[in-house]
Chain A
């Protein structure tokens, strides 16, 4: 079984986001494997042991993402591919993943339900469509019986239980697997694992970010004494007009 895990290289969740010259100001920002991708990667590592699968990690990004890719290798992925291009558009990224998947014929393609930077949530569905595969998003659990997986998918107010035969694409979220922590041996081995760099396949780039804006700041918190609940109710009704 061959598993491809697509990871993003994103600011760690607690990072302060600010922009400079129309781009993310990365000064002092710690970049990590995307939190949803981490669930996909952790599931792949579980399947590597359970089903003797080979796990390949893929990232579309510049040379600066290699540290993040090595972190994924340290967790146990067997090898990695970096497509040497800026991941600025969902379709562009999906075309890159699909181009590699057509050559390598993976049985299972995992990724996070969305990236935590652009929050597009498009790439899994586009990859599946380009490859003619089903996609399950957001996938919360996955168990295999032979070539068929039973999964749960979160929906509004509940979940669906879905069965699907390989090959397919899944966009993962908790609690599909426990996050893994790299040990020293893994970190040492990661340095020697193959990381292939390939140039991007030709693709359209139909979207372009032209500016970033910060959300409006809240005007400050009005404190109401616990002894005067009536005042809170009055403010919600008369000032905020939300009840």
Chain B
């Protein structure tokens, strides 16, 4: 099943009256269960592509489908609902709600999706156990380490069983050992059939991902499958 279908995607920003092309005809197809790394130097269009895939922005040109649904022309409310149910975000700086506990952070998108109290409590407990934080469920975000916060963020991203998980430099704020634990967790997600797209500068991370898309100057420079792990 195809999760993402992007054809000839372009994105042009207006900057101080000047037109700046961030993406210049990117075509990309991501199948369900794929684990993909988007790499490239600063300004190559990685973040813009991630924003389009996540329904945070609309392309200026081309065609983009998420789970068979055209993204262009969707209203803000429709895009919000798409992000809630079909996309999970993992940020570099975790961005948990600091006043909420780990459990409440995971329950947040479930509550928004209308999941009942008992069911979301069970789902949050299940996800926190999955990321190895069952015993930290009632700790506030500020009481957790960086690695633990990122694990909670991963659990939050998985809450509504999205079709696609997007991670933006997920190990960028972590030390090497903690980053490695997160990468192991990503491997496990992949093995469990989660579709995962990671934007990264981290060569170590990119090297262990089965498919690597390298962007350069708003275009796909290389789209390669790893020959061996």
A and B: partners? Answer: no
